Amino acid sequence: MDVRISPSRVRGTARAPPSKSYTHRAVLAAGYGDGATVRNPLFSADTAATARAVEAYGGETSRVDGDFEVVGFGGTPETPADVIDCANSGTTMRLTAAAGGLVEGLSVLTGDASLRSRPQGPLLDALGQLGIRADSTRANGQAPLVVGGGTAGGSVSIPGDVSSQYVTGLLMAGAATEDGIEIELTTELKSAPYVDITLEVLEAFGVEASVGGGDDAEVRASGAEQLAVSGGQTYAPAGGGYDVPGDFSSMSYLLAAGALAAEDELVVEGAHPSAQGDSAIVEVLDSMGAAIEWDRNAGEIVVGRSDLEGIEVGVADTPDLLPTIAALGAAAAGTTRITDCAHVRLKETDRVAAMATELGRMGIETEESADELVVHGGELQGATVRGHEDHRIVMSLAVAGLVADGETTIEGAEDVDVSFPGFFDALSEIGVGLVEA
């Protein structure tokens, strides 16, 4: 599907979708237990993949009145009867590959071409340290993966600068083992707030985990050297249910739209505080000069169109914000320098290169190095751009199109279904002129 975006002003009220990160973890946590109701989840292609994995391991999931009703596999996943298709979801593969390591037989996990190109080697190595069979069928550290054989738990060493999802998968599986799992990080942990999300969900489901060496009062996992979870624990949320908060990664596009194109102001609902590192988008916009106010108690952010200035910002802990910040930088005065972004090249696509390429098509000069993207703000020009089969690239380019001179056509726009299925409906409702073709 292609979408044509016309230069537009936005107004009114928009609501962020539920968090994809929390939904993945909550559905799998319910699967590890006897079951639970996951309330206000994100229904998307990615979270559907995690639900399918829970079913493959012997659980059941159903959509009831806007909730996920999950019947769990009680900490003992069954050997799947078929290959688990994780589609485009790296989170699904990494979290549920660790679960697959607990089965008596073998689990086979695969996905689409993009997912089959992403690195899984460090996770396979860590599972192997636990005595689990963990192989890449092509012996290149990429899917398809074969895991299984079970483990009593133990100690592993793993790098922290490739994907925090490896840590999440091991922690969640570790609680279901006999002895638990201790994780030693051999490099600095990137995306630490995502591990905090995991710790928050584990706690809500009654599972205790610990962090050693953390050096940040607000982000528990920041600076962590070790993490551990004891075995023999039971996943059981208080009251039998879990409420998913709003998603700040998806909210970033709505807030960016308001900062670039609000006629008066845009109100974004569903912005309740949580462990999500991507709430940093509020601080980023404020630093760029946006008129933005966050009522944390009400869960509302009000943002108005402002003359933005380029800034320097690191995304070590907030990799999903890079495309949004790049789009903002393209429309801002001066230079925006995005640092600490080498790991952002390992997502659904190389997001650093993809944003540089597509903003270049829109007349914006960029520079990139292994760990940095520099965006020189200027006059955006309408153009035909590619989504690179990446939902975050598509949504960021749509935001840039709001203030481009002329119409912007985004090819492959259907990929927003991965995390924000109603994205273009939400834009239309706040006044964006667009046509789907």
Q: What is the pLDDT of residues 136-194, one digit of tens each?
A: 999 999 999 999 999 999 999 999 999 999 999 999 999 999 999 999 999 999 999 99
320 marked as part of a ligand binding site: yes
19 marked as part of a ligand binding site: no
Q: Identify which of 88, 85, 102, 100 has the alpha carbon closest to the alpha carbon of residue 144.
A: 85
Q: Are 280 and 250 in contact (CB under 8 A)?
A: no
Measure the CA–CA gap between 372 and 385, rounded to whole angstroms: 22
381 marked as part of a ligand binding site: no
Q: What's the confidence (pLDDT) of residue 214?
A: 77
Q: How many helices (H) and strands (E) does the chain have?
A: 12, 24
Q: What's the confidence (pLDDT) of residue 437?
A: 81
**Are β-strands 60-64 and 67-71 bridged in parallel, bridged antiparallel, or unpaired?**
antiparallel
Sequence letter at residue 117: S
Q: What's the confidence (pLDDT) of residue 392?
A: 97
CATH class name, domain 2-17+246-436: alpha beta
Measure the CA–CA gap between 274 and 284, rounded to whole angstroms: 17
Whether residue 320 lies in the annotated active site:
yes
230 marked as part of a ligand binding site: no
List, for residues 284-296, the tens digit of each pLDDT value: 999 999 999 999 9
Measure the CA–CA gap between 288 and 320, rounded to whole angstroms: 18
Measure the CA–CA gap between 200 and 207, rounded to whole angstroms: 10
Q: What's the confidence (pLDDT) of residue 16?
A: 86
Per-residue HEC secondary structure of 352-389 comes to HHHHHHHHHHCCCEEEEECCEEEEECCCCECCEEECCC
For domain 20-231, which CATH number applies: 3.65.10.10, 3.40.50.300, 1.10.3720.10, 3.20.20.80?
A: 3.65.10.10
155 marked as part of a ligand binding site: no
Catalytic-role residue among 46, 247, 317, 320: 320
Measure the CA–CA gap between 351 and 347, rounded to whole angstroms: 7
Please give the radius of gyration of the chain, using alpha carbons only, rounded to the nearest integer: 21
Measure the CA–CA gap between 120 and 279, rounded to whole angstroms: 27
190 marked as part of a ligand binding site: no
Measure the CA–CA gap between 258 and 267, rounded to whole angstroms: 8
Q: What's the confidence (pLDDT) of residue 424?
A: 97
Measure the CA–CA gap between 212 and 114, rounded to whole angstroms: 34
Give bridge partners of residue 421 from the DSSP assignment: none
Measure the CA–CA gap between 5 and 404, rounded to whole angstroms: 9
90 marked as part of a ligand binding site: yes
Q: What's the confidence (pLDDT) of residue 218?
A: 81
The conformational region for residue 340 under phi > 0 = left, psi -120 to 50 = alpha, else beta, is left
Measure the CA–CA gap between 332 and 315, rounded to whole angstroms: 18
220 marked as part of a ligand binding site: no
Q: What is the mean pLDDT of each run of 10 residues along the chain (437 residues)?
A: 98 94 97 97 96 98 96 98 97 98 98 96 98 98 98 98 96 98 96 95 97 82 95 97 94 98 95 92 98 95 97 96 98 98 94 98 97 98 98 98 98 95 96 94
Q: Identify which of 131, 116, 27 has the alpha carbon closest to the alpha carbon of residue 70.
A: 27
- The residues of the chain that CATH labels 3.65.10.10 are 2-17+246-436, 20-231
Classify residue 39 by burial, with Cβ atoms within 10 Å: 0-12, 13-18, 19+.
middle
Percent of the chain topping pLDDT 90: 96
Q: Identify which of 328, 335, 321, 324 has the alpha carbon closest to the alpha carbon of residue 395.
A: 324
Give bridge partners of residue 38 from the DSSP assignment: 68, 242
